[in-house]
Structure 1
Amino acid sequence: MKPKQIPGVPIQKKGGFHDTESTKQFKILEINSKFAVLKERFFSINRWKEYCGHASADFKHFDASGELADRFPKKGDFIRIAIPGPGTVEAKGYDWVEIINISHRDTDKSESYLMMCRPSKEPNKLKGYVAHFYTPAATSSMLISKEGNILKAAVYGRNERPNFNASFWDKIRNFFIALGGIFGFGKIQWKILADGLLDFE
């Protein structure tokens, strides 16, 4: 199976990938109001676990200076992720990604928001390793869209390879977490998020 070609999502070159999508159908007259709800949930990163339940990873939103943020995200912000299972030694049990782009597309037929993230060091940490089980070449592109009477929430992972530029224990941890991701366990987590974002009926 080949990765989907989604506008704004990087081309798959090396490593693992996934296309994780959830859709929900609504009455056409209420699609705009439902999309407004989805947008609010999508950009409320600190509440993602609340939407997704106990099986989900925990996500926290930080600004570029490393302070906890409670607002819509912007380019240069960070997301701290606590995945089920062992965390990094480098970042005290967490994985970190930087938000490298947020884009909005609005046409006659559809509207979408895309938020792209990349593995990173902790905010304001000039030294040390990238605190994530994938290399910085990997991306996670999170998308919400409306088209007709259908809402979609999706995550597209590209170029996912284990991060071996790490301390000894983190190398081992990153290998097994990345291996699990490549074999589909990571997709399960993203599916929980995509489903959870749309579960507001």
Structure 2
Amino acid sequence: MNSKIQTLLERAAAQSSVSSGDTSSVANAARNFSDVAEAKKSFDRFKRKLFRVERWNADSGLSSFELFDENGARQAPEASAKRGDFIRITLTGSGKSDWVKITNIDEQRVDEIVLTFQPTYNPTEESANKTVTSHFFTEDSSNNFCLQKTNEAVKIYVIGLNEKSNTHDTNNIIETARNVATANLGHYLGIQKAEWTTFCENFLTSDN
């Protein structure tokens, strides 16, 4: 069976090599263990951690994460994420929170797992408009959180695809400017990639 992570990395490389409105980003980290058995044990532990989204707060630098169920109800801090759940992400200094939905969980291989998030509407709003994307990227973009075991090593990737500023689903000109600024800062000044790199490195080293 082909590696889903390798396919995502190839797509990211292809997007970064062409001139279009869409871009990609890749952050990653790796940790080596003494033997295959220890790597397998750690992979299983990190896999459980990957599903407990609110534990990510201890590993992030500028972002905070909150998990909500498919109906927009706040989940308990130790709840495990599942397909259809929502996550509220707040990037310090960005001006507002952004929403993503877990659209896919790929566990077809025993040595890797991929959680795919895509920008979505705010499910906590009364009479939420499901056609309005509450995120600085458009609904076509995705962030793929990938965990992989290869021999004595465990690797984590955050792979962003089809990343384009959301200048359509905004309430006013201020929010439009905010979305453009946040997306551009992430790409051209490296803030977003630096944030995910910090997350990846901390994820594999912390014991929370």
Give the alignment's TM-score, normalised by structure 1. 0.85
Within a 5 Å distance, the mapping from 1:101-180 to structure 2 comes to 101-106=104-109, 111-123=111-123, 125-126=128-129, 129-165=132-168, 166-167=170-171, 168-180=173-185
Considering only aligned residues, what root-mean-square deviation do their CA atoms show, in Å? 2.2
Per-residue CA deviation, residues 173-198 of structure 1 (Å, 9 max, x unaligned), is 00000101222211111111111110
Report what 2:68 is aligned to.
62
Q: Is this contact kept in 1: 2:82–2:102, CA < 8 A?
A: yes
Report what 2:18 is aligned to.
none
Secondary structure of 1:6's aligned partner: helix
Secondary structure of 1:157's aligned partner: strand
Paired residues in the alignment total 188
1:150 Cα deviation from its structure 2 partner = 0.6
Question: In structure 1, what is the Cα distance between the partners aligned to 2:152 and 2:177?
Answer: 46
2:41 corresponds to which letter in structure 1? S
1:128 Cα deviation from its structure 2 partner = 7.0
Question: In structure 2, what is the Cα distance between the partners aligned to 1:81 and 1:132?
Answer: 9
1:20 corresponds to which letter in structure 2? A
Tell me if 1:41 matches 2:46.
no
Report what 2:91 is aligned to.
83
1:105 Cα deviation from its structure 2 partner = 3.2
Which stretch shows the higher mean deviation, 169-178 or 63-72? Answer: 63-72
Match of 2:34 among 10, 24, 27: 27
Per-residue CA deviation, residues 101-160 of structure 1 (Å, 9 max, x unaligned), is 0011325xxx11100011111116126731110011111011011110010111000111
Secondary structure of 1:106's aligned partner: coil
Question: In structure 1, what is the Cα distance between the partners aligned to 2:160 and 2:59?
Answer: 21
Question: In structure 2, what is the Cα distance between the partners aligned to 1:122 and 1:174?
Answer: 16
Question: In structure 1, what is the Cα distance between the partners aligned to 2:131 and 2:159?
Answer: 28
Question: In structure 2, what is the Cα distance between the partners aligned to 1:75 and 1:7?
Answer: 21
Secondary structure of 1:49's aligned partner: helix
Match of 2:203 among 194, 197, 201: 197
Secondary structure of 1:178's aligned partner: helix
Question: In structure 2, what is the Cα distance between the partners aligned to 1:154 and 1:163?
Answer: 24
Per-residue CA deviation, residues 62-121 of structure 1 (Å, 9 max, x unaligned), is 11111122322111111100101132xxxxx210001100011325xxx11100011111
1:162 Cα deviation from its structure 2 partner = 0.6
1:9 Cα deviation from its structure 2 partner = 7.0
Secondary structure of 2:7's aligned partner: coil
Q: Is this contact kept in 2: 1:155–1:190, CA < 8 A?
A: yes
Give the alignment's TM-score, normalised by structure 2. 0.83
Q: Is this contact kept in 2: 1:160–1:182, CA < 8 A?
A: no
Higher share in helix: 2
Per-residue CA deviation, residues 45-72 of structure 1 (Å, 9 max, x unaligned), is 01111133xx230011111111122322
